[in-house]
């Protein structure tokens, strides 16, 4: 075969290839004709289903009207409407027969209201593809629909006899109307199933056509490849020239492009090789940059690992020390304070990482409310006074007269930014002062943080807002920190319509950062009363939850033990379940005052469990416990049937307040 092909002239080879391409085009035309034929039949099938559905709905309406009025006109109209389902039944029975009569199929379709232009196409489609899976399933639904029509007919006959015996009582009318509605619901479901099968069949045909077209395209591509092989001799001379020059590229000489002498395929090839050489050159540079970036990220991750492992080491170590029975009460208190402090530090680090992740993925949302800016600034500086006093650094707050008392902001995120920047300033200041100023300027709330600290060297000033960069790493090791504060704060400020910038910095003299937030006016009259957060460390106020019966559902033993300890300490009676299925069982057997339920559990997760509980009409308050901090996850909890959501880690005062909110306990003052 190859020898015969080699003996062909170029013109004969081109004619052969052209003939093959024509054959492919003809075959594609046949495939297209088959597609049009199939989709036309399915379209007609769907149209017939609509006619059948309308006739069924009309029949239902007429029969119900007959029950209400007793007017025989509606009874006759009912039977007239059922003629279309009866005629369609003839089509189905004929198609299902061993040797279907095509003329009887045509007749049934015409009587069933199918357009005359579609009858022949649709009838032949039924016969040819009767054994295909989707059509077999369609006939099953069709048959079930015919059975329901028969039940409707029998019910109509019964109603007709009863009306003939005398007017129906109100009770009997309601009974018949209810029975008609039940049959109607069944028919509606069958119609929906039938429509779904038709949609599936359409997709099946579409998939088949895609495979055929893919095969044709493959053949056409192969034919074109053969054509290139046949005319290789014509271009061999030019290709050899290009090959010689590309060897130079292989040796790493990317600065001598191939000379382009023509605008034909060889010219295009030369252009492509030149572009490739340029891309390779750029990729080498990018690879070198990527290697440098990888080193920076590795350094960042090493520092992050250190920052996370340090509090973990303290938590684990002091927790083991607490097992010693010989410890004094004072020592135990000291150890517990260390565990609490390091646990909060670890939570803060993880929260920063999660915030960065949410910002990068677009999940972080800003919740703006009307806030008292003056009280917010007082709270921030008050929170940091202890740190500054500990280092004998003066922390100063100055408010310009232009600063409004109220503004519409996300107070949580604004405080987060201010605390991050001020904490950095205090951390990196050995002596002197940290100044926070606030003003309104050209539609922006402007906060300046000026310190007398160690400053930032010029080579690091452009890197401090990069997630994977910190300042002088040697000094960072001495001071500590993850390096997330500045990049996180800048992204938060940008989301709030502003920015965080470094105005100036000089080594050993200090730094000046400026925060800009888009100002949104808020009138005092509309302002919600601003309150300081609850101080849950106060010893003179506790909340009594005496005798409340609480169910805790969590698969983690340590979580159950923690929740039990918190709740029993407040006087609760606590029952526990280790998975969602067990939790549902207990909730159905016992009346609880509140249920605390984890989301991620085996057998049934929290979403499934709360749904089952609500399906039984139980209205007990159910509080979700979740480690997912994105708003979508919290919304899903509330939509599933939970009354409220608590984010992990669970702090005792948060859990107690939430139980008290839904169980109305009585405060006890000491």
pLDDT tens-digit profile of 432-489?
999 999 999 999 999 999 999 999 888 888 778 876 555 444 444 444 455 678 888 9
For residue 569 the two structure tokens come to 């300490």
Q: What pLDDT is attached to residue 106? A: 72
What is the average per-residue pLDDT within 76-80? 88
Summarize pLDDT for 105-119 with one digit per residue, the tens. Answer: 777 776 666 777 666
* CA–CA separation, 61 and 55 (whole Å): 10
Q: What pLDDT is attached to residue 608? A: 94
Q: What pLDDT is attached to residue 288? A: 66
Q: What pLDDT is attached to residue 88? A: 76
* CA–CA separation, 177 and 182 (whole Å): 9
Q: What pLDDT is attached to residue 283? A: 72
Which residue matches tokens 């704060």? Answer: 489
Q: What pLDDT is attached to residue 10? A: 44
- Higher-pLDDT residue of 228 and 308 is 308
Judged by average pLDDT, the poorest of 79-93, 584-598, 606-620 is 79-93
Q: What is the DSSP string of 396-434?
A: EEEE-TT--SEEEE-HHHHHHHHHHHHHHHHHT-SSSEE
Which residue matches tokens 């409220």? Answer: 644
What is the average per-residue pLDDT within 190-202? 74
pLDDT at 285 exceeding the cut of 80:
no
pLDDT at 32 exceeding the cut of 70:
no
**Which stretches within 112-169 are classed as H helix?**
116-128, 133-164
Winning range, highest mean pLDDT, from 119-128, 325-334, 398-407: 398-407
Q: What pLDDT is attached to residue 322? A: 80
Residue 623: closest CA among 641, 602, 611: 641
Residue 368: closest CA among 531, 525, 521, 534: 521
Q: Treating both helix axes as pointing N-terminal to C-terminal, what angle do 83-96 and 10-69 enclose, rounded to 10 degrees?
A: 140
Judged by average pLDDT, the poorest of 136-145, 267-276, 423-432, 510-519 is 267-276
Indicate the burial class of 401 (C-beta count within 10 angstroms; 0-12, 13-18, 19 or more): exposed
Q: What pLDDT is attached to residue 267? A: 65
Judged by average pLDDT, the poorest of 484-488, 597-601, 605-609 is 484-488
303 secondary structure, DSSP code: H
What is the average per-residue pLDDT within 52-75? 85
Q: Are strands 594-598 and 549-553 parallel, antiparallel or unpaired?
A: parallel
Q: What is the DSSP string of 239-250?
A: HHHHHHHHHHHH
Indicate the burial class of 218 (C-beta count within 10 angstroms; 0-12, 13-18, 19 or more): exposed
- Higher-pLDDT residue of 95 and 505 is 505
Q: What pLDDT is attached to residue 23? A: 73
pLDDT at 233 exceeding the cut of 60:
no
Q: What pLDDT is attached to residue 476? A: 47
pLDDT at 209 exceeding the cut of 70:
no
Summarize pLDDT for 93-108 with one digit per residue, the tens. Answer: 777 777 777 777 777 7
Q: Look at phi and psi of residue 423 and say left if phi exceeds 0, alpha if psi is from -120 to 50, else beta.
A: alpha
Q: What pLDDT is attached to residue 504? A: 93
* CA–CA separation, 620 and 640 (whole Å): 14
| Average predicted confidence (pLDDT) for the chain | 77
Q: How far is CA 501 from the centre of its chain?
A: 33
Q: Are 655 and 596 in contact (CB under 8 A)?
A: yes
For residue 159 the two structure tokens come to 């109603």
For 169, list phi and psi in degrees, rounded to 5: -75, 165
- Higher-pLDDT residue of 403 and 228 is 403
Indicate the pLDDT class of residue 301, thresholds 50, 70 and 90.
low
pLDDT at 298 exceeding the cut of 60:
no
What is the average per-residue pLDDT within 239-258? 67
* CA–CA separation, 369 and 376 (whole Å): 13
- Higher-pLDDT residue of 497 and 215 is 497
Q: Are 90 and 104 in contact (CB under 8 A)?
A: yes
* CA–CA separation, 666 and 589 (whole Å): 27
Residues paired with 504 in a beta bridge: 512
Longest dimension (CA), the chain: 110
Q: What pLDDT is attached to residue 95? A: 74
Give the rounded percent of residues in the chain with a pLDDT score beyond 70.
Answer: 67
Q: What pLDDT is attached to residue 494? A: 92
Q: Look at phi and psi of residue 630 and say left if phi exceeds 0, alpha if psi is from -120 to 50, else beta.
A: beta
pLDDT at 584 exceeding the cut of 50:
yes
CA atoms within 13 A on the CB side of 273: 25
Q: What pLDDT is attached to residue 445? A: 96
For 505, list phi and psi in degrees, rounded to 5: -160, 140
pLDDT at 339 exceeding the cut of 50:
yes
Instruction: List b or e across 469-497, with b for residues whose CB sees 16 or more CB atoms inside 10 angstroms.
Output: bbbeeeebeeeebbbbbbbbbbbbbeebb
Q: Are strands 499-506 and 433-441 parallel, antiparallel or unpaired?
A: unpaired
Q: What pLDDT is attached to residue 94? A: 74
pLDDT at 39 exceeding the cut of 50:
yes
Summarize pLDDT for 510-562 with one digit per residue, the tens. Answer: 999 999 999 998 875 444 443 434 444 433 345 678 889 999 999 988 888 88
Summarize pLDDT for 368-409 with one digit per residue, the tens. Answer: 899 999 999 999 999 898 889 988 999 999 999 999 999 999
Winning range, highest mean pLDDT, from 226-240, 290-304, 344-358, 452-466: 452-466
pTM for this predicted structure? 0.44
Q: What is the DSSP string of 492-548?
A: HHHHTT-EEEEEEEETTTEEEEEEEEE--B--GGGPPPP-PPP-TT-SSEEE--TT-
Hey, what's the torsion of the CAs at 17, 19, 23, 29, to 10 degrees?
Answer: 100
Q: Are 595 and 619 in contact (CB under 8 A)?
A: no
pLDDT at 600 exceeding the cut of 50:
yes
């Amino acid at each position: 075969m190859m020898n015969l092909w080699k003996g062909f002239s170029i013109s004969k080879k081109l004619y052969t290839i052209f003939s093959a391409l024509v054959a492919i085009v003809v075959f594609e035309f046949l495939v297209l004709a088959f597609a049009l034929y199939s989709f036309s039949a399915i379209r007609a099938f769907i149209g017939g289903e609509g006619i059948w559905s309308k006739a069924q709905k009309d029949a239902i309406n007429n029969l119900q009207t007959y029950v209400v009025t007793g007017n025989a006109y509606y009874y006759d109209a009912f039977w007239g409407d059922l003629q279309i389902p009866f005629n369609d039944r003839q089509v189905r029975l004929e198609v299902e027969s061993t040797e279907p009569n095509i003329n009887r199929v045509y007749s049934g379709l015409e009587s069933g209201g199918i357009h005359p232009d579609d009858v022949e196409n649709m009838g032949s489609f039924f016969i040819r593809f009767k054994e295909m899976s989707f059509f077999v399933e369609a006939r099953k639904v069709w048959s079930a629909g015919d059975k329901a029509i028969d039940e409707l007919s029998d019910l109509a006959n019964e109603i007709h006899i009863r009306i003939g015996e005398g007017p129906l009582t109100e009770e009997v009318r309601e009974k018949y109307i209810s029975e008609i509605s039940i049959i109607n619901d069944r028919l509606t479901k069958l119609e929906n199933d039938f429509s779904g099968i038709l949609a599936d069949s359409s997709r099946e045909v579409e998939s088949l056509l895609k495979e055929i077209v893919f095969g044709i395209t493959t053949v056409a591509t192969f034919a074109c490849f053969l054509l290139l092989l046949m005319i290789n001799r014509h271009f061999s001379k030019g290709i050899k020239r290009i090959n010689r020059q590309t060897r130079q590229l292989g040796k790493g000489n990317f600065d001598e492009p191939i000379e382009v002498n023509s605008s034909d395929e060889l010219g295009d090839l030369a252009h492509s090789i030149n572009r490739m050489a340029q891309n390779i050159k750029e990729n080498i540079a990018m690879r070198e940059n990527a290697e440098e970036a990888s080193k920076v990220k590795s350094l960042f991750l090493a520092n992050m690992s250190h920052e996370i492992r340090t509090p973990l080491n303290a938590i684990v170590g002091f927790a083991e020390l607490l097992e010693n029975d010989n410890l004094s009460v004072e020592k135990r208190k000291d150890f517990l304070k260390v565990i609490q402090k390091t646990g909060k530090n670890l939570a803060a680090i993880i929260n920063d990482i999660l915030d960065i992740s949410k910002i990068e993925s677009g999940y972080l949302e800003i919740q703006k409310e009307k806030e008292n800016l003056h009280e917010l600034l007082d709270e921030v500086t008050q929170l940091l006074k202890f740190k500054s006093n500990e280092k004998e650094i003066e922390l100063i707050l100055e408010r310009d007269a232009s600063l409004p008392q109220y503004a519409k902001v996300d107070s949580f995120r604004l405080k987060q930014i201010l605390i991050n920047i001020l904490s950095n300033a205090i951390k990196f200041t050995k002596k002197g002062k940290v100044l926070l100023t606030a003003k309104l300027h050209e539609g922006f709330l402007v906060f300046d943080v000026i310190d007398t600290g160690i400053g930032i060297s010029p080579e690091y000033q452009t890197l401090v807002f990069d997630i994977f960069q910190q300042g002088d790493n040697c000094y960072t090791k001495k001071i500590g920190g993850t390096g997330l504060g500045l990049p996180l704060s800048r992204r938060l400020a940008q989301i709030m319509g502003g920015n965080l910038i470094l105005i100036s910095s000089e080594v050993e003299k200090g730094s000046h950062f400026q925060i800009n937030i888009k100002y949104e006016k808020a009138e005092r009259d509309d302002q919600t009363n601003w309150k300081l957060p609850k101080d849950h460390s106060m010893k003179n106020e506790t909340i009594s939850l005496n005798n409340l019966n609480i169910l805790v559902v969590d698969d983690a033993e340590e979580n159950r033990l923690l929740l039990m300890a918190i709740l029993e300490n407040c006087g609760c009676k606590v029952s526990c379940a280790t998975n969602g299925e067990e939790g549902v069982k207990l909730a159905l057997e016992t009346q609880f005052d509140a249920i605390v339920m984890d989301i991620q559990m085996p057998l049934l997760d929290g979403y499934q469990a709360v749904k089952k509980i609500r399906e039984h009409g139980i209205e007990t308050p159910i509080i979700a416990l979740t480690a997912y901090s994105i708003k979508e996850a919290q919304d899903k909890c509330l939509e599933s049937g939970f009354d409220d959501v608590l984010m992990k880690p669970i702090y005792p005062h948060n859990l107690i307040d939430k139980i008290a909110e839904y169980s109305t306990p009585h405060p006890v003052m000491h």
